[in-house]
Structure 1
Amino acid sequence: MAQASAETEDACPRIGLAEGVLTLHDAVARMLCLNPRVRLARAGVMAEVAALGQARSAYLPRLSATFRRLDDVTAIDAADRSTSNRTRGESSALSLTWRLLDPGGRDANIDAAADLLAAALSSRDATVLQVTGAGIQAYFDVQAAHAALEAHRANREVAHATLASVERKQGAGAAAEADRLQAITAQARAELEVSRAQGALAQARAVLATWTSLPPQLPFMLPALAAPESPQVPALDPVLSHARLLHPAVAAARLKESAARAQVDAARAEGRPTLDLVAAEYRNGRPDQSLSTAPSRERQMAVVLTVPLFEGFERSYRIRAAQAVVEQREAQAQEESQKMLAEIVQAHAALAAAGDTLRASGVLFESAGASHASALRRFRAGAADLREVLNTQQTLDDARLQRVRSVTEWHAASLRLAAAAGNLGPELLRN
C-alpha cells in the first residue's frame, strides 16, 4: 500500500523547488491528482465504461464448450467367482446461443449504460470543481495570511519610525517621557500583531500542505497577488444561462434521469417475446447423459421463440419501481439545478461586494497614508502631538490590512464564481 501511494504521488506534478514557488495551477493539479474524492470519481467512470461494454455484449453470441473423461471400474464379488468391468471414454459438447430478436430490451440497456457513463463523467467534473473550489480557498487563505503578515510588518516599521522620532525629540528636549512610553506601547502592539500573523500563516500553510500532500516542513512561497486595475463583475444572466446548459453537476443529474427512463423501457421489454438461435454438437453423448461406450456424434440447430405469459405480476412491480426511480431522478435534477443557481447568485453577489470593497479600500489606504504622513511631518515640526500621530498610525494600519484582504477576497471570489458556474478552466488558474 505504501509503495502504491508513493507511485501515485510520484506521478503527480511537483513544485519547482529551485524557485520555491507554488503557483495556484500547480497546487490545484496536486490536489486533483491525490484527492481521494477525485480518485473515487475516476474509478466510477471506469466502472460505467465496463457496464456499457457489458450491455453491448448482449448483441454477441454465447459460445460454450464442455469436456468429460470417464474411467469407470465396476467390481462384483460373488461366492464362486469375482468379476470386474472397466469402462473408459471421453465426450465433448459445443453449444451456441444467439439472440436474434428482442423488443428493444438490449437497446434500452445500452442507452441506460451510455447515459450512466456520461453522468459519471459529468459527476467527475463536478467533483473536480468542488475539490478545486475548496483547494482554492485554502490557497488564498495562505496568501491572505501572508499579505496580512507583510502588512503587520509594515505597520511595525511605521511604529519603529514613530518611536525613533519621539526619541529624537526627547533628546532635544521637545518631547515628554509619556510620549516615549506611548510610542513604545504602539511598537509593542505592532510586534504582537506580527507574532499573531506569523501563527495564522503557519496554520494556513499547514492546511494547504495537507490539501496538496506536501510535507508540512517543506519551505515554499506563493506568488504575490496584484490588485486588478479595473475589477469587472460579469453580468449575472449570461452566467446563469451558461450554467443551466453546461454545469457538470446539473448535466449528471439529467443524464441519470435519462438512464432511469431507459431502465423503464428495458423493464417493459422483458415481458415481450424473444427469438433465439440455438445450435449444439455432442460427441459420445450429452453432458446430462451417461457416457456411451460406442462412439456417437449429434448435431442440432433450433430457433426458439419465448413468450412470457405470467410471472405473478413481478414484471408489473418491476416497471412501477423503475418509474418511481424516474420520479426520484427528476426531483434530484431539479434540486441540483436550484442548488447550482443559488450558489451562482451568492457567488456573484460576493464578487460584486468584493469589487466595491476593493475600490473603497484603495481610497481608504491612500487617504490614511497621506493623513499619517502629514501628521508625522507636523509632529516633527512641533505642530502636532503624539496622540494625533498614533491615531493616524492606527488608521493606516487598519487601512493597509483592509487593502490586502480586499485584494485577496477579490481574486478568491472571482474564482469561486467561476467554479460555481462550472467554468473554471486552467487559464483562470494561471492568471
Structure 2
Amino acid sequence: MKPGRWSLLGLALTVAPVSLPATGESLLADPFATTHGLPAAPGELWRGEAHLPPLPKAPAAKADWLGRDWSLAELTDYALSHNPQTAAAWDGLRAQAAALGVAQSAWLPTVTMNTSASRRQAVSTAGFSVPVRNSVSPNLTLSYTLWDFGLRRAKVDAARAQEWVAGFTQNQSIQAVAFSVAQAYYQVLGNRALLLADRQTVAEQEKNLEAAELLHRAGQATIGALYQARAALAQARSALAAQEQTLRGSEGNLAAAVGLGPATRIGLADLRLDAPPPPGLAQAAETLMQAAEKANPALQASRAQLAVAEANVRSARASGLPSLALSGNYGYQFQNGFAPGDTWSLGLTLTVPLFTGFNHHYQVRQAQAQADQAQAQLSQSQSTTLTQVWQDYHNFQGTLASYPGARSSLENAEKALEVVRAQYRVGQATIQDVLLAESTLAQARYTLIQNLVSSYVALAQLSQAVGMPLGEVQP
C-alpha cells in the first residue's frame, strides 16, 4: 500500500464514530468527555470534583470583647470597617471609578508598536534556490479621533453617573450595616432584660409555691392550689430556658452584624427598666420627608441612574453620526543584503454610517425606553422613600406615646402583687388571685421592655429612611 493510502486510512480511523460502552455515545458526541462524572439520573446528587477557591479566613476577634461593655457607637465603627457588605460596596465604587478612567481614555490618542521577523527562501521549479532572506520590520501606528459629535462626551457622562450610582450604593450599604448593628444591639439588650424578667418571675413563683406549701400544711389551702403553684413555677422555668436560647441567638446576630463569628460574645451594659425612651423629635414628618429627598442614598442612586440613562441616549444618537479620525504609520525594515528602508503615512479618515440595517435606529429607541423606565423608577423610589419616612415617623411617635402607659402599668402591677400576696397570707385571697397578679406583672415587664427596645429601633429605622442620624441612639 502506498504512503498516501496509509494517510487516508489514518484519517478515516480518526473521524470514524467510536462507541463508548459506558454511555452508548459516540466519541464525537463528547470528544472532551465533559459528561464524565455527571449523575446517571436526574434524581441523583452531583458528586463531581470542583476546584473552588478557599473560603475566607474567619474574622479575628479581639480578646477583650467580654472584658468591658461596648457602646453602640464603638460596635458600629468596628462593623463599618469589618463587615463584608461595606467592603463589597467600596470595591464596587473603586471599580466604577476605574471604569470612568476607561471612558476618559478615549480623549487621548492610541499608539501601538508591532514588530515582525521572518526568514524566507524560495526554490524554483528548475531547482534554483534564492538565497535565504532574513527581515525584521518594526512598525509604529498612531490613531486619534478628532471629532465624533459628542459620542465620547456622552460615554464619559454615563460612566461618571455610574460612579455616582456606586457612591450612593456605598452610602446605602453603610447605613444598612449601621442599622443592622443597631437593631441587633437593641435586640440583645431587650432579650437580656427579658431574661432578667423571667428570672424574677421564677423567683416570685418559687415564693408563691413556698407560701402555698405552708398554707397547705396549715390546712388553709387545698391540694389544687398547691398543684397550680407548681404548674406556674414549671411554666416560668420553661420560659426562662427558652429565653436563654433566644438571647444566644440574638447575640450571634449582633456578632455577625459587627463582622465577627456568631459564637463571639460581646460585653454590653444591661438595659434598665427605669431607662427613659429616646426624646421626641423637634422636626415634623413633612420636614423629615423634605430632608429625605436630599439625603436618602437609595433615592439619590435612582436619580443617578436616570442620569446614566440620559447619557446613554445621547451616546446612542451620536453613534449614528459621522466621525473624523487622524491616523499615522511609520515602519522600518531591516533585510540582509539590502539597505534598511522606512515607510510612513499620515491621513484623515471620515466615517459616515449610511445604513446599518436599522441597528442604530433601534439602539436609540432602546436607550430612550430605558431612560423612560429610569424616570418611572425614580418616581417610584421617591414615593417609596417618602411613604417609608411617613410610616417610620408615626411608628416612632407611637412608641413614645405608649411609654407612659407601659410605665404606669408596671408600677401598678407591682403594687397589686404586693397587696394580693399579703391578702393570700391571711386567707383573704386565693392562689388564683396571686397567679393572676403575677402574670399581670410579668406581662407589664415584657411590655415595658419591648416598648423601650421598639422606640430605639424605630428611631434607627427612621434615621435610615431619612438618610441621616436623628436623636439619641443609645438608651
Give the TM interval when normalised to the shorter protein. Answer: 0.7 to 0.9
Cα pair 1:275 1:305 within 8 Å, conserved: yes
Pick from 311, 320, 325: which aligns with 2:356?
A: 311
User: Is 1:56 the equivalent of 2:101?
Assistant: no
Displacement of 1:124 in angstroms is 2.2
SS at match of 2:132: strand
Deviates more, 1:133-142 or 1:56-65: 133-142
Cα pair 2:162 2:305 within 8 Å, conserved: yes
Deviates more, 1:387-396 or 1:329-338: 387-396
SS at match of 1:115: helix
Pick from 326, 331, 339: which aligns with 1:282?
A: 331
Residues 323-356 of structure 1: CA distance to partner in whole angstroms, max 9, x if unpaired?
A: 1110111111111122222222222222122112
Aligned partner of 1:356 in structure 2 is: 401
The size of the alignment, in residue pairs, is 421
Residues 160-214 of structure 1: CA distance to partner in whole angstroms, max 9, x if unpaired?
A: 2333444555666665655444433332332222122223223333444444454
User: Is 1:238 the equivalent of 2:287?
Assistant: yes
Residues 113-151 of structure 1: CA distance to partner in whole angstroms, max 9, x if unpaired?
A: 111101111122223333443454344333322221111
User: Is 1:199 the equivalent of 2:245?
Assistant: yes
Displacement of 1:382 in angstroms is 5.2
CA distance in 2, matches of 1:305, 1:263: 24
Aligned partner of 1:147 in structure 2 is: 193
Pick from 320, 323, 326: which aligns with 1:271?
A: 320
Aligned partner of 1:124 in structure 2 is: 170
User: Is 1:6 the equivalent of 2:57?
Assistant: yes
SS at match of 1:85: coil
Q: What does 1:70-81 correspond to in 2, within 5 Å?
A: 70-76=118-124, 78=126
Amino acid of the residue matched to residue 5 of structure 1?
P
SS at match of 2:415: helix
Displacement of 1:249 in angstroms is 0.5
Aligned partner of 1:248 in structure 2 is: 297
Displacement of 1:362 in angstroms is 0.3
Amino acid of the residue matched to residue 261 of structure 1?
E
Pick from 434, 457, 462: which aligns with 1:412?
A: 457
Amino acid of the residue matched to residue 6 of structure 1?
K
Q: 1:292 to 1:44 in 2, by over 3 A?
A: farther
Q: 1:83 to 1:291 in 2, by over 3 A?
A: closer
Cα pair 1:91 1:291 within 8 Å, conserved: no
Aligned partner of 2:142 in structure 1 is: 96
SS at match of 1:106: helix
Q: 1:187 to 1:213 in 2, by over 3 A?
A: same
Pick from 263, 276, 287: which aligns with 1:228?
A: 276
Deviates more, 1:89-98 or 1:307-316: 307-316
Cα pair 1:278 1:303 within 8 Å, conserved: yes
Displacement of 1:404 in angstroms is 1.2
Aligned partner of 1:114 in structure 2 is: 160
Q: 1:229 to 1:315 in 2, by over 3 A?
A: closer
Residues 352-406 of structure 1: CA distance to partner in whole angstroms, max 9, x if unpaired?
A: 2211222211010011111112222344455544443332222111111111111
Deviates more, 1:362-371 or 1:65-74: 65-74
Pick from 298, 301, 312: which aligns with 2:343?
A: 298
Displacement of 1:88 in angstroms is 1.7
SS at match of 1:99: strand
User: Is 1:340 the equivalent of 2:385?
Assistant: yes
Whichever structure has more helix as a proportion of its residues is 1
Aligned partner of 2:236 in structure 1 is: 190
CA distance in 2, matches of 1:231, 1:83: 101
Deviates more, 1:227-236 or 1:23-32: 23-32
Deviates more, 1:21-30 or 1:144-153: 21-30
Cα pair 2:96 2:166 within 8 Å, conserved: yes
CA distance in 1, matches of 2:99, 2:328: 28
Q: 1:117 to 1:85 in 2, by over 3 A?
A: same
CA distance in 1, matches of 2:146, 2:366: 28
CA distance in 2, matches of 1:420, 1:400: 30
Cα pair 2:111 2:140 within 8 Å, conserved: yes
Cα pair 2:252 2:262 within 8 Å, conserved: yes
CA distance in 2, matches of 1:377, 1:192: 27
Aligned partner of 2:13 in structure 1 is: none
CA distance in 2, matches of 1:110, 1:225: 53
CA distance in 2, matches of 1:230, 1:338: 28
CA distance in 2, matches of 1:212, 1:18: 15
SS at match of 1:312: coil
Cα pair 1:281 1:297 within 8 Å, conserved: yes
Displacement of 1:247 in angstroms is 0.7
Amino acid of the residue matched to residue 46 of structure 1?
R
Amino acid of the residue matched to residue 309 of structure 2?
A
Q: 1:314 to 1:218 in 2, by over 3 A?
A: closer
CA distance in 2, matches of 1:372, 1:414: 34
Amino acid of the residue matched to residue 238 of structure 1?
T
CA distance in 2, matches of 1:334, 1:21: 45
CA distance in 1, matches of 2:134, 2:343: 20
Amino acid of the residue matched to residue 243 of structure 1?
A
What TM-score does the superposition give when structure 2 sets the normalisation length? 0.78
CA distance in 2, matches of 1:397, 1:94: 86
Cα pair 2:139 2:332 within 8 Å, conserved: yes
Cα pair 2:172 2:298 within 8 Å, conserved: yes
Q: 1:14 to 1:237 in 2, by over 3 A?
A: farther
What TM-score does the superposition give when structure 1 sets the normalisation length? 0.85
